[in-house]
Amino acid sequence: DIQMTQSPSSLSASVGDRVTITCRASQDITTYLNWYQQKPGEAPNLLIYGASTLQSGVPSRFSGSGSGTDFTLTISSLQPEDFATYYCQQCLGFPRTFGQGTKVEFK
């Protein structure tokens, strides 16, 4: 299985902060990388696919970059509704695998 490792596992930030989350794959996955946001009691929600393409309806403050094994999710200006847990997921190998999550908490 392709292992996905996120860092940090949690971070504290304030409204308006720029937040960066990284994800590393155990092998080259080119740009077969998706990002999800999950709020407590809810299912994950797709934010970005193909490493950098914003899903319809997702605010432009979210962006993704990277290729190969190293990827980044950036929130340019954190909003109150962005406090959540974020997961990366590779879509190259079977089974599809997720990172362990990064929890964005209020400072």
Q: Look up residue 79 and give its two tokens.
A: 């909003």
Beta bridge mates, 25: 4
Q: Which x/- pattern over 54-93 shows residues binding another protein (rule: CB under 8 A)? A: -x-------------------------------x-x-x--
Beta bridge mates, 53: 49
Q: Determine which residue in the list 40, 60, 95, 107 makes contact with another protein, applying CB under 8 A.
A: 95
Q: Determine which residue in the list 44, 57, 63, 75 makes contact with another protein, applying CB under 8 A.
A: 44
Q: How many CB atoms lie within 10 A of CB 21?
A: 22
Between CA 24 and CA 70 the distance in angstroms is 5
Applying CB under 8 A, the residues found at the interface with another protein are 1, 32, 34, 36, 42-46, 49-50, 55, 87, 89, 91, 94-101
